[in-house]
Amino acid sequence: MEKVLDRVQGFFLDMSITEIMNHSVISVKPDRTLRQVKEILRIKRISGLPVVNNQRKLVGIVSIEDIIKALEGGYIDDTVENRMTRDVISIQSTATLKEVIEFFEKWPYGRFPVIDNDGVLVGIVTKNDVMMALLAKLGLVYLHDERRREVLDSPEYFARSLLTGERLDKSGADFYFSIDYFDINLAGVGASKLRQFLLSKGIDEKTARRVSIATYEAETNVVIHSGSTGAIYCFIKPESIFVRVEDTGKGIEDVELAMREGYSTAPDYVRELGFGAGMGLANMKRCSDNMIVMSKVGAGVVVEMEFFRGREAKQ
Amino acid sequence: MKLSEILSEIKARVLTGEEKIDELEFDYVAASDLMSEVLAIARPSMVLITGLTTPQVVRTAEVVGIQAVVVVRKDFLPSETIDMAKACGIVLAVTKMTMFEACGRLYNRKLKPIWSA
């Protein structure tokens, strides 16, 4: 987890403020009246205005608080120049997101004008801008290629098989187990039941073993990582065993990275139980003959595996 | 080697499945505290030696098809672990011996690793 955070932090915190701020900043000249400012705030639905001189240099700021005070004090027709806050806290346009966040922590203001080296107003940044910029950036990070998006965005994401593309009649599954617990000590209950079920159906020992090991890994992943519940479906086909393990949890940020042996985001308490060594997905791949992992961040993970009957696991 | 001989070599006390220790025979032994690893490398026809005491050990053994598990460096095991072993029909034993000594003794008695480097 820390590794991921580190990576993500670098990626986000070094973002330039110019990527975050609002460039088309609305400003006002010092000779306007507070009544005019009130109208601008109302029409534009904003809560403050930087004040600039004729050279567009920042000279002050008026906020909705100033307007309220002006209405109460009966000086709403006074000029901005007489009532604005003169020592404005502004941010240089060379700042990064990290500094922006520090500004919001340090000062109780909702917005900061952004100025260049000459003190000229070039933008404004609010908490909302920070949030929107982060979301936009997240969108870029998690952008899947078109083909995946097609599958993921389709309402049938959870209804079609990833391996065969066919509609899955989950109610027709030969085996169903609901992963409805969050206790890591229970992880594997479903896989263990599946193994017993397969043996009871006359599936050979070796195949049942491969299926249950891979399912155990998938089930453990759901319990450790998804933060949600999940389900195991198994279909017994004449030539093969088909298993689908799905959850509706957090999803995997980078499936390729997660597939890498030794990579794990498991917390320490999981590692103390002998898990979280980063071998799960690799082991699932080894045990199965075909495997697909599909994930959408925030929408869960689907793992499908196919096991041809009567074969040994790859070494 | 007979499981009963293996267990007496490492001074293990049987907690479950006592009735099977004279029938079962093993040529291979693996030792690991990493259940992920056990899942990845294990084969059914072996004894698993581990320092972990959680029920997960038994569940992992069951999923892999391991019939005998020896926990090292312990006097007692949690009752959940013992209950699960009972339910799965797995032979579960415990010894005070360290993992190193247990493995060394069994290696001396010509038990084999699951693969050789």
Could A279 and B40 be called an inter-chain contact, meaning their C-beta atoms sit closer than 8 Å? yes
pLDDT class of A143 with cuts at 50, 70, 90: very low
| Poorest-pLDDT segment among A11-20, A150-159, B52-61, B63-72 | A150-159
pLDDT at A201: 92
User: What is the mean pLDDT of the segment spanning A303-314?
Assistant: 83
* C-alpha–C-alpha distance, residues B19 and B14, integer Å: 10
CA distances from A13 to A68, A95, A100, A254 (A): 36, 10, 9, 20
Collect all residues of chain A within an 8 Å Cβ-Cβ radius of residue B36.
217, 274-280, 283
User: What is the mean pLDDT of the segment spanning B6-29?
Assistant: 96
CB A80 within 8 A of CB A60: yes
pLDDT at B102: 97
CA distance A170 to chain B (A): 24
pLDDT class of A1 with cuts at 50, 70, 90: low
The size of chain B, in residues, is 117
CA distances from B31 to A213, A226, B46, B100, B107 (A): 18, 30, 10, 9, 12
A247–B contact, CB cutoff 8 A: no
Handedness of CA A201, A202, A208, A209 (dihedral sign): positive
Query: Which residue from B minimizes the CA distance to A287?
Result: B40
Query: pLDDT (tens digit, 9 = 90+) per residue, A171-216?
Result: 888 999 999 888 887 888 899 999 999 999 999 999 999 999 999 9
Could B62 and A187 be called an inter-chain contact, meaning their C-beta atoms sit closer than 8 Å? no
User: What is the mean pLDDT of the segment spanning A159-174?
Assistant: 76
Q: Tell me A144's DSSP state.
A: P
| Poorest-pLDDT segment among A28-32, A215-219, A254-258 | A254-258
Percent of chain B at pLDDT exceeding 90: 84
Query: pLDDT (tens digit, 9 = 90+) per residue, B93-106?
Result: 999 999 999 999 99
pLDDT at A155: 57
Q: Residue A251: left if φ>0, alpha if ψ -120 to 50, beta else—which one?
A: left
pLDDT at A151: 56
pLDDT at A110: 83
Collect all residues of chain B within an 8 Å Cβ-Cβ radius of residue A280.
36
Residue A144 confidence (pLDDT) above 50? no
Question: What are the backbone angles phi and psi of residue A182, rounded to the nearest 5°?
Answer: -120, 0
Name all domains of chain B by residue range, CATH numbers in brackets: 3-116 (3.40.1390.20)
Mean pLDDT, chain A, rounded, equals 84
User: What is the mean pLDDT of the segment spanning A243-250?
Assistant: 91
3 state SS of A81: helix
The candidate with the shortest Cα–Cα distance to B50, out of B2, B103, B5, B14, is B103
pLDDT at B48: 97
pLDDT at B67: 95
pLDDT at A138: 67
Collect all residues of chain A within an 8 Å Cβ-Cβ radius of residue B50.
274
Residue B117 confidence (pLDDT) above 90? no
pLDDT class of A127 with cuts at 50, 70, 90: confident
CA distances from A126 to A8, A38, A45, A129, A130 (A): 22, 19, 13, 5, 7
Could B39 and A283 be called an inter-chain contact, meaning their C-beta atoms sit closer than 8 Å? yes
Residue A168 confidence (pLDDT) above 70? yes
State the CB neighbour count (10 A cutoff) for residue A68.
11
CA distance A283 to chain B (A): 6
pLDDT at A139: 57
pLDDT at A5: 59
Which B residues 40-79 touch A at CB under 8 Å? 40, 44, 50, 52, 54-57, 59-60, 62-65
| CB-count exposure of residue A110 (10 Å: 0-12, 13-18, 19+) | middle
CA distance B66 to chain A (A): 10
Run of H or E including A235: strand A230-236
Residue A152 confidence (pLDDT) above 70? no
Strand-pair category, B46-50 with B68-71: parallel
pLDDT at A142: 47
Residue A34 confidence (pLDDT) above 50? yes
Residue A141 confidence (pLDDT) above 70? no
Residues sharing a CB contact under 8 Å with residue A253, sequence separation 6 or more, in sequence order: A4, A141, A142, A297
Instruction: Answer with the residue of higher pLDDT: A162 or A225.
Output: A225
- Give the mutation candidate from B36, B48, B59, B79 for the A interface (greatest A CB count, under 10 A): B36
